[in-house]
């Protein structure tokens, strides 16, 4: 069974959202998954806060021979357990938390409009 780590498309029209999943390579893109390993939300304004990965599980699946897709390979390199941009990711998540982005009411509630 060739295991792949790839993105599964969710969301709606003009509002994409992806889950990073370990799946059997023979299944369709949005088909059954073995395990969900993280998320990717391209609509978040902070680039480094868009990806969230469960590093321990990604490391496990890579250890048992799973092959990541090209885009997921880049995400693992940047935001995995030994990622090159982990510090920037933590700073971006803190800035989003302070600005109130993603909470009920969105940015307008944080700005007091």
Buried b (16+ CB within 10 A) or exposed e, 34-58: beebbbbbeebebebbbbebbbeeb
What pLDDT is stored for residue 105 in this prediction?
57
**Tens digits of residue pLDDT in 16-66:** 999 999 999 998 888 899 999 999 999 998 999 999 999 999 999 999 999
Region of 100 please: left (phi>0), alpha (psi -120 to 50) or beta. Answer: left
In sign, the C-alpha dihedral spanning 73, 69, 9, 54 is negative
What pLDDT is stored for residue 31 in this prediction?
87
CA separation for the pair 92, 109 (Å, rounded): 20
| 7 has a pLDDT exceeding 90 | yes
Region of 54 please: left (phi>0), alpha (psi -120 to 50) or beta. Answer: beta
pTM: predicted TM-score of the whole model, two decimal places? 0.83
| Domain 3-103, CATH class in plain words | alpha beta
What pLDDT is stored for residue 109 in this prediction?
47
Is residue 28 helix, strand or coil?
A: coil
What pLDDT is stored for residue 106 in this prediction?
52
For the chain, the average pLDDT equals 88
48 DSSP 8-state letter: G
């Amino acid at each position: 069974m060739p295991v792949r780590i790839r993105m599964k498309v969710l969301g709606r029209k003009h509002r994409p959202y992806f889950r990073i999943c370990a799946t059997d390579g023979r299944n369709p893109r949005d088909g059954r998954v073995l395990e969900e390993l993280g998320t990717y939300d391209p609509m978040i304004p902070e680039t480094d806060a868009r990806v969230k990965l469960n590093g321990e599980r990604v490391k496990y699946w890579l250890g048992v021979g799973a092959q990541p897709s090209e885009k997921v390979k880049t995400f693992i390199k940047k935001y995995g357990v030994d990622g090159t941009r982990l510090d920037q990711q933590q700073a971006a998540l803190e800035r989003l938390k302070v600005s109130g982005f993603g909470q009920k009411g969105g940015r307008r509630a944080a700005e007091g409009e």
